[in-house]
Structure 1
Amino acid sequence: MALNQALSGINAAESQLNVISNNIANAGTVGFKGSTAQFAEVYAVTGLNLSSAAVGSGVEMTGSEQQFAQGDLETTNGSLDMAISGNGFFVVNNGSGNQYTRDGAFTENSQGYVVDASGGYLQVYPPNGSGTGFNTSTLSNLQLNTSQAAATATSTITSTTNLDASDSLPTDTPFSTTDANSYNNASTFTVYDSQGGSHNATVYYVKTGNNTWDANLYIDGNSAGTATMTFNSAGTLVSPANGNLSFTPTQPSNGATFPATITMNASNMTQYGSAYSPDYDQNGYAAGVLENVEVGTDGIVTAIYSNNDTVQLGQIAVANFPNLNGLQQVGNNNWVATQASGIATMGTAGVGQYGDIEQGQLETSNTSDTTAQLVDMIQAQQDYQANSQMLGTVSSLDQALFQAVDRS
């Protein structure tokens, strides 16, 4: 019996060394979770008939328990590198079903899909058709929209310009763009047509009386009309009452179009006794190319284009399980659900039991600090040596017994 007991101890120590060796080998593996060997004593008889003097039959390894403690987060600055700070798993689909991972080292494949190292597609909740929110009832592959963002024609100009109340009436009449003495001030800015082509827009201001002004809009030298403004004694706009000046642009000759009416929101324009200070903004922009991808802590993925347009591409799905130790490791830093783990509970980052998503960071292996592993290795080595010594001792006793029998 002693031989079997010692042999079981050697086998157990060897199994423990295998687990520790795997932990150390994956000390640099992104998202890796270490394991600890689990053992149980062995008896040759059942507990019901166990004598108080019974001696056990050794030890056996009952399994290895995964340790899902959080690994350290390491900054990479990669726009598609992500880590979950807290509970949860990324969901990837390799074509045969969902798998789950803590390894957020994602890349873009040739079709623009975001994938893991083995080609599994990162799963997200797609945007709702209404343009707001996400459809959390389904999952889809995250694809970066690498095509150009469509251009938008200017339809609204917003002005917060101050007109100098102390200005005199122009000396020349009528107004002419070629006669600087026929207007008080002028400012030029850029507007866009339906194809994203840029055009020079100039507003000429003509003081027509106390607290009254004309705004003349020209686009590429073509008049878009004149609008009248009236200010009160405090210098704030009172007419038009809604603050909107309407202009009718001449359509461009390149096949693109302007809206039939361009509105200038002048509600925040003023007429104070200080210098003319122009300030304009407009809502048109040229076509743009994808420049960057932002991932919020809530997992919302936003494409940012060179024309400052933004498009939400989806919200990263996060999974969790009733029993993490029931998950089955399938390699490539991935797990699959089993009956023991329970089905995946899906959610979104930063809500309830799910951790935040950190862009530009990766979770290191939770065995990256190998000190504890080396201590366990030394202990397992001592156990192995002790059981080997026991084998040698039993073998010596048996040899002495056989020699005594031979002499008799």
Structure 2
Amino acid sequence: MAFSAGGSFQQGLSGLNAAQRGLEVIANNVSNASVVGFKGSEAEFSDVFARAFNGARSTNGIGLGTSLAAVTQNFKQGNINVTGNPLDLAISGTGFFKVQAANGDNIYTRNGQMGLNNEGVIVNSRGDRLQGFPIDATTGRPSDVAQSITVPRGNIPPAATRGGNLELNLDARATAIDPALTFDPGNLNTFNNSTSMTVYDELGGAHIMGIYMRKESSNDWSVFATVDGTQVDIGTSPVAVTTAPAQSTAASLQYGVDGLLVTPANANLTVDMSRFVTASGVPFSSTGVAPNQFTFDMSNTTQYGSSFVVQNLGQDGFESSPFAGFDVGADGMLTISYANGQLVKHAQVGLYRFPNPEGLQPVGSNGWLATNSSGPELVSLSEDTAFGIIQSGALEESNIDLTAELVAMISAQRVYQANSQTIKTQDSIFQTITNLR
């Protein structure tokens, strides 16, 4: 009978080493249990098997112990904790944020604790810049290239009125106005109904626009318009630019027997401001940035046998206004809000995922680098079902289950004690053999 004390000691020693490495992984998990977005690790072990010198397999060979095969990361979802801070971002589901380090490295993370630096750039606690896709002001779509997101804190520039909509009902029972009476906004006998709204010039100046409805016959109405008390031209197509016509033009509306608008067919009225000037003598289109005409949608006007009522007035112009705040939507859209109620889509935070996230290389601070093993990044700017959603004002907690880790710690301790016992037993046997006479 052959006895190999060296192999026995090696087996016990490998068991001790494996238990020690397992405890290190558990200790690291426990120490990061309160770290936002932390993903726990798991130690994986494999046996060590001895081969014959000629490479042949043995049917009754005994292994040489165990070894650490890999330490893998567990990317399961952590609990979501609501914080109320708009720059706390949590991912519910699959995906990573991408931040750019000072050295240019692209780092992927689940830690959504963000803030603004002194330049207004969204950064994490290390100063890494959150990457997003700027929104094109013309198309309203995100660009194709990700870059750092800077939150503008200045005033929103003014926008001149370029379109609007009217929703109202004209009383079909109203009496037609005598054609001999010329329209006069100061004479109530020359029109049936009126309403008003605020419109804006190119510099954000506010002006009161009056709209006057005059019944000509059973289903025919004329529409007149004034701005700050000055009558302006209005028509059913782009109005010819004039300076001082003898009589401002009016638009015609015709309704069918069902009370719905028939003419104009496109239901649009165009208002021309070319002969209107502000109180200081500045033309309405003072900057020359855009034409001085705008269009109102009248498709939701009716003529029923009930009282005149205005359901809604709307227009797209606004004055300059200070920054009020911002918000990040579930699709990652960062929207800036201003004191005048305007909302501007500024940038979209993308989510990234990988074919093999376990192949990502940890770099600390809850960050990973892409590798050949992880595969290329895949990005989504929509509510793709393969990706998660972003929850603003919340953070994803660590996915560590402390109870499970403590049980694993007890188990690893028992394994360590058992391997220590095998070494002690082998030592006792070896001592007995050496003491034989």
Task: Report the TM-score, using the length of structure 2 for normalisation.
Answer: 0.79
Q: In the alignment, which of 126, 149, 152 is matched to residue 142 of structure 1? A: 149
The 3-state SS of whatever aligns with 1:186 is: strand
Cα deviation digits, residues 4-57 of structure 1 (max 9, x gap) = 433332222121111111111222222211111122333565682565554444
The change in CA–CA distance for 1:352 and 1:176 in structure 2 (over 3 A counts) is: closer
Q: In the alignment, which of 229, 244, 252 is matched to residue 229 of structure 1? A: 252
Q: Does 1:63 align with 2:86?
A: no
Residues of 2 paired with 1:186 and 1:342: CA distance?
Answer: 66
Counterpart residue number, 1:355: 388
Q: Does 1:198 align with 2:206?
A: yes
Q: Does 1:275 align with 2:307?
A: yes
The change in CA–CA distance for 1:280 and 1:348 in structure 2 (over 3 A counts) is: closer
Q: In the alignment, which of 139, 146, 161 is matched to residue 154 of structure 1? A: 161
Q: Is the 1:70–1:86 contact (alpha carbons within 8 Å) kept by the matching residues of 2?
A: yes
Counterpart residue number, 1:332: 365
Q: Does 1:385 align with 2:391?
A: no
Residues of 2 paired with 1:348 and 1:260: CA distance?
Answer: 37
Residues of 2 paired with 1:41 and 1:233: CA distance?
Answer: 88
Q: Does 1:320 align with 2:353?
A: yes
Residues of 1 paired with 2:252 and 2:302: CA distance?
Answer: 10
The change in CA–CA distance for 1:340 and 1:261 in structure 2 (over 3 A counts) is: closer
Counterpart residue number, 1:261: 293
The 3-state SS of whatever aligns with 2:34 is: coil
Indicate the RMSD between aligned Cα atoms, in angstroms: 3.2
Residues of 2 paired with 1:370 and 1:241: CA distance?
Answer: 70
Cα deviation digits, residues 48-106 of structure 1 (max 9, x gap) = 25655544443332331212222233333433333333333221111321111122222
Q: Give the unaligned 5+ runs of structure 1.
A: none
Q: Is the 2:197–2:313 contact (alpha carbons within 8 Å) kept by the matching residues of 1?
A: yes
Once the 2 structures are TM-superposed, how far is the Cα of residue 290 of structure 1 from its aligned partner?
4.0
The change in CA–CA distance for 1:26 and 1:202 in structure 2 (over 3 A counts) is: same
Once the 2 structures are TM-superposed, how far is the Cα of residue 220 of structure 1 from its aligned partner?
1.7
Residues of 2 paired with 1:256 and 1:389: CA distance?
Answer: 97
Q: Is the 2:51–2:58 contact (alpha carbons within 8 Å) kept by the matching residues of 1?
A: no
Residues of 2 paired with 1:364 and 1:69: CA distance?
Answer: 11
Write the letter of the residue equivalent to 1:32.
F
The change in CA–CA distance for 1:42 and 1:240 in structure 2 (over 3 A counts) is: closer
The 3-state SS of whatever aligns with 2:309 is: coil
The change in CA–CA distance for 1:23 and 1:64 in structure 2 (over 3 A counts) is: same
Residues of 2 paired with 1:41 and 1:78: CA distance?
Answer: 49
Q: Does 1:364 align with 2:397?
A: yes
Q: Is the 1:227–1:246 contact (alpha carbons within 8 Å) kept by the matching residues of 2?
A: no
Q: Is the 2:204–2:320 contact (alpha carbons within 8 Å) kept by the matching residues of 1?
A: yes
Task: Report the TM-score, using the length of structure 1 for normalisation.
Answer: 0.84
The within-5 A match list for 1:174-213 is: 174-213=182-221
Q: In the alignment, which of 406, 423, 426 is matched to residue 374 of structure 1? A: 406
Q: Does 1:26 align with 2:49?
A: no
Counterpart residue number, 2:236: none
Residues of 2 paired with 1:322 and 1:245: CA distance?
Answer: 55
Residues of 1 paired with 2:256 and 2:131: CA distance?
Answer: 61
Cα deviation digits, residues 297-332 of structure 1 (max 9, x gap) = 443433344444443333333333343222221111
Write the letter of the residue equivalent to 1:122.
L
Q: Is the 2:220–2:255 contact (alpha carbons within 8 Å) kept by the matching residues of 1?
A: no
Q: Give the unaligned 5+ runs of structure 2.
A: 1-5, 233-247, 286-290
Q: Is the 2:254–2:264 contact (alpha carbons within 8 Å) kept by the matching residues of 1?
A: no
Aligned residues: 403
Once the 2 structures are TM-superposed, how far is the Cα of residue 182 of structure 1 from its aligned partner?
4.3
The change in CA–CA distance for 1:274 and 1:345 in structure 2 (over 3 A counts) is: closer
Once the 2 structures are TM-superposed, how far is the Cα of residue 379 of structure 1 from its aligned partner?
0.3
Q: In the alignment, which of 274, 284, 287 is matched to residue 320 of structure 2? A: 287
Residues of 1 paired with 2:95 and 2:85: CA distance?
Answer: 21
Residues of 1 paired with 2:316 and 2:383: CA distance?
Answer: 33
Q: Is the 1:194–1:256 contact (alpha carbons within 8 Å) kept by the matching residues of 2?
A: no
The within-5 A match list for 1:212-251 is: 212-224=220-232, 225-232=248-255, 234=257, 235-249=259-273, 250-251=276-277
The 3-state SS of whatever aligns with 1:32 is: coil
Once the 2 structures are TM-superposed, how far is the Cα of residue 239 of structure 1 from its aligned partner?
4.4
The change in CA–CA distance for 1:9 and 1:242 in structure 2 (over 3 A counts) is: closer
The 3-state SS of whatever aligns with 2:212 is: strand
